[in-house]
Amino acid sequence: GAVVSQHPSRVICKSGTSVKIECRSLDFQATTMFWYRQFPKQSLMLMATSNEGSKATYEQGVEKDKFLINHASLTLSTLTVTSAHPEDSSFYICSAKTGSVEQYFGPGTRLTVT
């Protein structure tokens, strides 16, 4: 149990375009979902926390107008990188949790902006 999926696993887009990444909890209802970004050889950096039906809480330094998060249901959250630039190229990982402490991670999405 506790499986989280992400789609797509890899995406290449041109600079200036927008990219949407989906995160789904497949066999449980996620009250909270988290979006992380990880640059090569660095640790996970929390971007935002989202609860179903409410606005996401963004970490300091993360532009909420650039990284749009929608947590429309208890099993789906989406991250849209708007007007992507090469510096947005990174590994984006979502995680989800129910009432427990543990977070269940998705497999990640490798974004490359050319």
Collapsing DSSP states into helix, strand and coil, what is residue 86? helix
- Considering the rule CB under 8 A, would residue 102 count as an interface residue with another protein? yes
The phi and psi torsions of 56 (rounded to 5 degrees) equal: -70, 150
Q: Report the alpha-carbon distance of residue 39 to residue 31 in Å, rounded.
A: 27
CB distance 96 to 32 below 8 Å? yes
Segment contacting another protein by CB under 8 A, of 17-25, 61-69, 77-85, 99-107: 99-107
The interface with another protein within residues 55-94 (CB under 8 A) comprises: 91, 93
The site string for another protein over 17-56 (x = CB under 8 A, - otherwise) reads -----------------x------xxxxxx--x-------
CA 19/CA 81 separation, integer angstroms: 5
Interface with another protein, residue 101, by CB under 8 A: yes
Question: What residues make contact with another protein under the rule CB under 8 A?
Answer: 34, 41-46, 49, 91, 93, 101-108, 110
